[in-house]
């Protein structure tokens, strides 16, 4: 239901836009790309693209795939360290530490489509400590947020999930509540090319 409504509105917007590719420096006109982020993320929640490699299907892989697809680029997007050339692959920790910047400690009016909710659980194996969820503002209802993420499972239960922000906040799974009282919630992060 959510997907059909969003995709219907987005298809009209996307059809009216020309295909664009992106330079990976500062991006001033973000609106076209953010519409694409919503479209690509929702498509993955229905059926993963065959271009999204199965071995890269986790929360960080979801972020990488959505951004590359939405920006229509083959150029590497991720920064391994300051002043280095960009790379095509970065795990969740590297994405958060080098390619995204913290913009808020919690959910507030500064959030934008494509921002990440970042979680870190101490005491887990290194590869399981970080979890990323992408936020998207509803195109038809101001201040209503949709959250999409890959659940990280490698078996048949693995896949991209979508839910409204209010449902995530009200979930019983306290590890993933994006609230300041949750010690696992690190904050809201934005891709460095979109940080002004």
**Residue 21: inside a domain:** no
Are 56 and 64 within 8 A, CB to CB? yes
Are 64 and 134 within 8 A, CB to CB? no
Q: Which residues are 100's β-sheet partners?
A: 191
**Residue 20: inside a domain:** no
CA distances from 139 to 44, 57, 177 (A): 18, 27, 23
Cα(67)–Cα(164) distance, integer angstroms: 21
How many whole angstroms from its chain centre is CA 124? 22
pLDDT tens over the chain, length 196 residues = 554 544 444 443 333 333 444 444 445 567 889 999 999 999 999 999 999 999 999 999 999 999 999 999 999 999 998 888 999 999 999 999 999 999 999 999 899 999 999 999 998 888 889 999 999 998 777 789 999 999 988 888 899 999 999 999 998 888 999 999 999 999 999 999 888 6
Domain of residue 180, residue span: 2-15+30-194
Task: Tell the residue number behind the tokens 């664009």, with chain if given.
Answer: 20
pTM: predicted TM-score of the whole model, two decimal places: 0.85
- Specify the number of domains making up the chain: 1
**Residue 68: inside a domain:** yes
Q: Which residues are 149's β-sheet partners?
A: 161
Q: What is the CATH number of the domain that holds 84?
A: 3.90.1720.10
**Residue 77: inside a domain:** yes
**Residue 24: inside a domain:** no
**Residue 82: inside a domain:** yes
**Residue 88: inside a domain:** yes
């Amino acid at each position: 239901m959510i997907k059909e409504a969003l995709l219907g509105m987005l298809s009209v917007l996307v059809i009216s836009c020309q295909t664009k590719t992106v330079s990976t420096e500062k991006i001033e006109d973000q609106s076209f790309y953010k519409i694409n982020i919503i479209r690509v993320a929702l498509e993955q929640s229905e059926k993963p693209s065959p271009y999204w490699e199965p071995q890269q299907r986790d929360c960080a892989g979801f972020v990488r795939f959505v951004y590359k697809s939405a920006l229509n680029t083959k150029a590497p997007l991720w920064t391994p360290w300051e002043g280095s050339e960009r790379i095509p692959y970065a795990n969740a920790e590297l994405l958060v530490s080098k390619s995204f910047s913290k913009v808020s400690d919690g959910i507030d009016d500064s959030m934008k489509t494509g921002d990440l909710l970042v979680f870190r659980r101490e005491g887990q194996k290194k590869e399981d400590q970080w979890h990323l969820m992408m936020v998207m503002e509803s195109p038809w209802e101001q201040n209503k947020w949709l959250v999409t993420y890959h659940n990280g499972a490698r078996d048949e239960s693995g896949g991209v999930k979508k839910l409204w922000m209010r449902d995530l906040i009200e979930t019983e799974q306290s590890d993933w509540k994006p609230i300041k009282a949750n010690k696992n919630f690190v904050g809201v992060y934005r891709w460095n090319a979109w940080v002004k």
